[in-house]
Amino acid sequence: MYFFGLDIGSTTSKCAILGEDGTRLVATSLVTAGIGTAGAEQAVAEALAAAGLTPEEVSASAVTGYGRHSWKKADYEASELTCHALGARLVFPDVRSIIDIGGQDAKVISLDAAGRMNGFLMNDKCAAGTGRFLDVMAAILQLPVSALGDEAAKSEKPAAISSTCTVFAESEVISQLSSGAKREDVIAGICRSVAVRTAGLAKRQVLNAPLCMSGGVAANAAVRQALSEELGMEILYSEQAQLFGAIGAARLAWQKHRK
Ligand code: ADP
């Protein structure tokens, strides 16, 4: 028996397959094409192939993510909040707070000791403080977004990025680079800026430890470190953070099927 979760995001489609016990991760896939593309279909095909399964061998499936309404083939559908919480708790069983930074929004999710959601906050109005901000800056710097964290780590004096709007920050970054600022300092400033924005959102809610990150931006160690400093809290990190929504969806399919 296998349980399948699909997370159709704004930039990336993710899949996870869990085994019969609802905890063993059998296979995952990640395709950098999200809503409105063939990314979801490809992610499903890749995860099934990685697990050596046919679609008929999947007992139940669930879909989540911003693009979930466009996918009609799943047995269940659930919000990103629910699925990120379920996925995070599977990897970090005691986690009480989750900061999810994806391609177009950021969310802060609070859980009680039993894992039930008891609060959330979201920024989906402004690209600053989301992966979109980092994608725009990486394009200016002609770097893959995955390289920003390592570049930032070389900085000894992060540049101050004062603009709170992505469009103005873009001009500010170009102007700093053209006035001779070190690339690594500008990149560290960019990462810190995302962390400061997210911390501003997170501080509006009581954050209980343990705290973890989910979403694609969690892979950026400079953002994680700056966010941890801003909040004065340790941040748990798993390399599967970007897959937490998909893992949570698979877990939900398992729970529903069991009932
Ligand atoms: P969505 O579900 O909206 O597609 P994700 O949670 O998948 O969002 O996160 C996508 C964002 O994560 C991208 O916009 C990008 O900025 C960031 N990202 C993706 N991969 C990496 C990586 N390897 N290192 C750092 N950041 C990454």
Extract the tokens encoding 164.
């709170």
- 233 and 112 in a single domain? The answer is yes
Domain encompassing residue 6: 1-92+244-259
- Enclosing H/E stretch for 104: none
- 69 and 54 in a single domain? The answer is yes
According to DSSP H, which parts of 203-243 are helical?
Answer: 221-231
Strands 106-111 and 58-64: unpaired
Pocket lining: 43 vs ligand 1, CB cutoff 6 Å: no
Q: How many of the other CB atoms lie within 10 Å of CB of 9?
A: 30
pLDDT in tens, the chain (259 residues): 999 999 999 999 999 999 999 999 999 999 998 888 899 999 999 999 999 999 999 999 999 999 999 999 999 999 999 999 999 999 999 999 999 999 999 999 999 999 999 999 998 888 888 999 999 999 999 999 999 999 999 999 999 998 878 888 889 999 999 999 999 999 999 999 999 999 999 999 999 999 999 999 999 999 999 999 999 999 999 999 999 999 999 999 999 999 8
Centroid of ligand 1 to alpha carbon of 86 (angstroms): 19
CB–CB of 190/134 below 8 Å?
yes
- 116 and 161 in a single domain? The answer is yes
- 156 and 258 in a single domain? The answer is no
CB–CB of 100/213 below 8 Å?
yes
- 27 and 52 in a single domain? The answer is yes
Burial class (CB in 10 A: 0-12, 13-18, 19+), 89: buried
Centroid of ligand 1 to alpha carbon of 96 (angstroms): 23
Pocket lining: 136 vs ligand 1, CB cutoff 6 Å: no
Centroid of ligand 1 to alpha carbon of 35 (angstroms): 14
User: How high is the pLDDT of residue 151?
Assistant: 97
pTM (2 d.p.): 0.96
What is the strand order of the sheet 235-236 is part of? 117-123, 106-111, 97-101, 211-214, 235-236
Pocket lining: 151 vs ligand 1, CB cutoff 6 Å: no
> DSSP state, 255?
H
Q: Which residue has the tokens 């008891």?
A: 118
- 227 and 255 in a single domain? The answer is no
Pocket lining: 220 vs ligand 1, CB cutoff 6 Å: yes
Pocket lining: 39 vs ligand 1, CB cutoff 6 Å: no
User: How high is the pLDDT of residue 76?
Assistant: 98
- 208 and 254 in a single domain? The answer is no
Pocket lining: 138 vs ligand 1, CB cutoff 6 Å: no
- 139 and 159 in a single domain? The answer is yes
- 217 and 155 in a single domain? The answer is yes
- 194 and 154 in a single domain? The answer is yes
CB–CB of 24/93 below 8 Å?
no
CATH of residue 61's domain is 3.30.420.40
User: How high is the pLDDT of residue 216?
Assistant: 98
Alpha carbon distance, N-terminus to C-terminus of the chain: 15
CA 104 to ligand 1: nearest atom? 3
- 163 and 229 in a single domain? The answer is yes
Q: How far is CA 187 from CA 134, 159, 201, in A?
A: 9, 8, 22
- 192 and 249 in a single domain? The answer is no
The total domain count for the chain is: 2
Q: Single out the residue of 71, 51, 78 nearest to residue 252, CA to CA.
A: 78
